[in-house]
Structure 1
Amino acid sequence: MTSRTSPHQHLTGTSDTSGTSGTPGTSVSRRGLLRTAGGLTAALAVGALVPALTGGTAAAAPAAFTHPGMLHAHGELNRAKVRVAAGDQPWLAGWNRLTANPHSAAGWTPRPTATVVRGGTGENYGTLYNDIHAAYQNALRWKIAGTTAHGDTARDILNAWSATLTTVTGNADRFLAAGIYGYQFANAAELMRGYSGFDLDRFKRMMLNVFYPLNNQFLTGHNDACVTNYWANWDLCTMNSILAIGILCDDAAKYDQAVTYFKSGAGNGSLARAVPFVYGAQGLAQWQESGRDQGHTMMGMGQLGAFCEMAWSQGDDLYGYDDNRFMKAAQYVARYNLGQDVPFTTYTWGTGQNCAQQSHTVISAAGRGQVRPVWDVLHHHYARRRGLPVPYITAMAESVRPEGGGGDYGANSGGFDQLGFGTLLYAK
């Protein structure tokens, strides 16, 4: 582990019933909990202990990054390995979903290119996301089953791209590519850290020189548009990439850039803007894209869920930030997509370069009930780790289980927005 020079703080936020004022909430430090209660023994009891903690501001995270420490920490990987070997359900069903996916086949041949284009003329980004998901899925098969052929395949895909890719470009969609594929690429590399023949240093250079500049450009300038012009998912995928690059490269400044934006950023990826209205009496909260459509709304559950899980692996409880604001939004989205009614408050935002005002006055039914592999990680955290009642999240997770991954939800880019396989990694 590498020392960090800019430790981030676990801060206490506020929440409310109207979205405008409120009462203090609590954010829990996972590392602080384990450190206080005594290491491994405490880790086994974390689900029971966390709900009992109340009040105060948690200590800063330790000055070192944990590896593996993104979507999958050692505990999740080891549990999947043990449970699959024992033939236990639902892990085995999740494993079978993984091994049936063509992207997880050993011997997948990468097709790296120097320039990736998303948006506009000459689009070729499908090659990149297919190879990323093949690398990730093969890395999972190596981590869980120990098969060298899959480890070699994942390594070779990552090495081929880091030796070739120099540019991600296109119209404004280039920022989506840099965000979504940046954090997914980093997660695949994190799984392969230390693998024989994997050129981690060269891969880090690719992430720092190709992906991060676009991530930073978008988060600080929003493509020269009004800061609220872009939907929450644009910020969130960008934040995910910066956070993942920070972890991969042991770069505290980048990690803290992403976490600070989550807490206080001006754009729609910051928590207060992604979840603009809280209905405290109902335990629900409205998502920023709810008036747009449900496909992108559920994509938001996946993007913010990934962000919170990566931070959790490094000791930060952003899941619980601002009195569980994200949990209430996930409950809201799940409830509506299960066919039940939810409240809706008119949502107004600024668009274009001049922040021209637009409004949503009703929730959108477009894409209602769409299946995306984003729910098991949320159920695992809130219902299992924290022991909180989240009936709508639980029902959604059960309806999607066992979760697949890239290639299981359509051949276009939307089917690759999430890495997936949450049942395999997060069942408990």
Structure 2
Amino acid sequence: MRKRALSAAFTALVAVGGAFGVRLATADAAPISFSHPGVLVSRAQLDFVKSRVAARAAPWTAAYHQMMASSYASLSRTPKPRATVECGSYSNPNNGCTEEREDAIAAYTDALAWYLTGNAAYAQKSIALMDAWSATIKAHTNSNGPLQTGWAGSVWPRAAEIIKYTWSSWPNAARFATMLRTVYLPTVIVGSSSNGNWELSMMEAAVGISVFLDDRASYDRAVTRFKARAASYIYLSADGSQPKYPPAGSIDTTAELINFWQGQSTFVDGLTQETCRDFVHTGYGLSAISHVAETTRIQGEDLWPSLQDRMRQAFGLHTKLENGTAVPATLCGGKVTKGLGPVSEVAFNALHNRLGIAMTNSQQFTESRRPQGSNNLFVAWETLTHANNPA
């Protein structure tokens, strides 16, 4: 077996002159100081959304009402924390898995609602949800435990960033940080050799947690692993005759790679490792890539330019089929399982609006499905937060 070790993250450069040492950020290094709030959404983005909702503009107003009418925004919600969250394959067993994910989404929803409305009750509810879990949870177990850790661990920092940096007082913020550092980060930072959506979601969690913790070393490690997995998850013809091998695990022959790619042996631009499995899991992977790229942009690194070809091709291929184009016989035996989900707003805004890339299929898909809501796992309210957002 050929070993494919991950290259180490580029270390920060240190310039020493006289008595001074200066840490210089590189393309692969955490920023000198993290920007807060800075996980998926920035203060500038939130301010833009607030102005659009106040002006009753489309599509933000409909997206806002969609969020506020959801059960996640209910001020009567009671958190349901567990010391051990046990998640088996396909949620069997499901002991606290749904409750954890949905309480995390509710905390994020309430944080958004607080910022957009100025109603303190939403900030207090977000804090109550986060405090309940940080006082209780100790572990995730069973076969889907790492994925569950990634999903919930992706959402908690979004809520925490908004609350910590826009609300006046959160007495238990340090306990919440300890929860992220001890219960979530050790699991997600090591990654996974399973299907790509697992590791990409885990790296999303690791990046977001690292931002909240101001943990430069973990941020660098997660971004390095993320880039290797993203490059091996989406195929481009520039990669050669076959996709890149995943960054971890024992897959290192063409036959093993084809099996890992669900038996697909004809590779076209934008194909993902899970396309022929189903578009739902593919959507998870593409969403996680979008979220990490957006967070790095807020933090001053901006991986979007380096990811733009893979992401525009991936969204173009999958949205074209979602929009009704016939599946070619050479793709997944001529049959795919659709269901990409509410996952296109972040990438469409970054690629089309910011980078100026024409994305006809992605635009049709995105605009026809507005407002995009939540997948009840780790995606929530992205028409509201990212549609046509120039910030």
Tell me the residue number matched to 2:156: 185
The structural deviation recorded for 1:342 is: 6.4
Q: Aligned partners of 1:344 and 1:317: how far apart in 2?
A: 37
Tell me the residue number matched to 1:424: 384
Q: Aligned partners of 2:63 and 2:189: how far apart in 1?
A: 35
8 Å CA contact retained: 1:284, 1:328: yes
3-state secondary structure, aligned to 1:286: coil
3-state secondary structure, aligned to 2:270: strand
When residues 379 and 398 of structure 1 are mapped into structure 2, their CA distance, relative to the original with a 3 A threshold, is same
Tell me the residue number matched to 2:357: 388
Q: Aligned partners of 1:181 and 1:122: how far apart in 2?
A: 14
Tell me the residue number matched to 2:272: 287
Q: Aligned partners of 1:94 and 1:78: how far apart in 2?
A: 15
Deviation digits for residues 24-74 of structure 1 (CA, Å, limit 9, x no counterpart): xxxxxxxx9xxxxxxxxxxxxxxxxxxxxxxxx969664110001111101
Q: 2:34 aligns with which of 57, 65, 68?
A: 65
3-state secondary structure, aligned to 2:136: coil
2:241 is the alignment partner of 1:256: no
Q: Aligned partners of 1:235 and 1:362: how far apart in 2?
A: 27
2:192 is the alignment partner of 1:232: no
3-state secondary structure, aligned to 2:189: helix
8 Å CA contact retained: 1:308, 1:318: yes
8 Å CA contact retained: 1:335, 1:342: no
2:124 is the alignment partner of 1:164: no
Structure 1 runs, 4 residues or longer, greater than 6 Å off: 57-61, 342-346
The structural deviation recorded for 1:173 is: 0.4
Task: Report 1:6-405 matches (<5 A).
Answer: 7=12, 62-119=31-88, 121=93, 123-170=95-142, 172-194=143-165, 195=167, 196-217=169-190, 219=191, 222=192, 227=193, 230-264=194-228, 270-278=229-237, 284-321=269-306, 324-341=309-326, 362=333, 364-366=335-337, 368=338, 370=339, 372-405=341-374
8 Å CA contact retained: 1:159, 1:199: yes
Deviation digits for residues 232-291 of structure 1 (CA, Å, limit 9, x no counterpart): 101111111111111010001111111111233xxxxx12210134389xx942111111
The structural deviation recorded for 1:341 is: 4.6
When residues 291 and 279 of structure 1 are mapped into structure 2, their CA distance, relative to the original with a 3 A threshold, is farther
8 Å CA contact retained: 2:151, 2:205: yes
When residues 398 and 323 of structure 1 are mapped into structure 2, their CA distance, relative to the original with a 3 A threshold, is closer
CA RMSD of aligned residues (A): 2.5
Deviation digits for residues 140-176 of structure 1 (CA, Å, limit 9, x no counterpart): 1001111111111001111111111111112x20011
What TM-score, normalized by structure 2, do the two folds share?
A: 0.79
What amino acid does structure 2 have at the position aligned with 1:132?
A
The structural deviation recorded for 1:324 is: 2.3
Deviation digits for residues 326-377 of structure 1 (CA, Å, limit 9, x no counterpart): 222121121122122567878xxxxxxxxxxxxxx536412x2x26221111
When residues 63 and 363 of structure 1 are mapped into structure 2, their CA distance, relative to the original with a 3 A threshold, is farther
8 Å CA contact retained: 1:320, 1:326: no
Q: Aligned partners of 1:59 and 1:157: how far apart in 2?
A: 34
The structural deviation recorded for 1:378 is: 1.4
The structural deviation recorded for 1:197 is: 2.7
When residues 274 and 342 of structure 1 are mapped into structure 2, their CA distance, relative to the original with a 3 A threshold, is farther
3-state secondary structure, aligned to 2:85: strand
Q: Aligned partners of 1:317 and 1:232: how far apart in 2?
A: 21
Deviation digits for residues 170-211 of structure 1 (CA, Å, limit 9, x no counterpart): 2x2001111111111121111111431352211111011101
8 Å CA contact retained: 2:85, 2:97: yes
8 Å CA contact retained: 1:69, 1:313: yes
Q: Aligned partners of 2:131 and 2:313: how far apart in 1?
A: 41
What TM-score, normalized by structure 1, do the two folds share?
A: 0.73
Aligned residue-pair number:
335
When residues 288 and 345 of structure 1 are mapped into structure 2, their CA distance, relative to the original with a 3 A threshold, is farther
When residues 363 and 240 of structure 1 are mapped into structure 2, their CA distance, relative to the original with a 3 A threshold, is farther
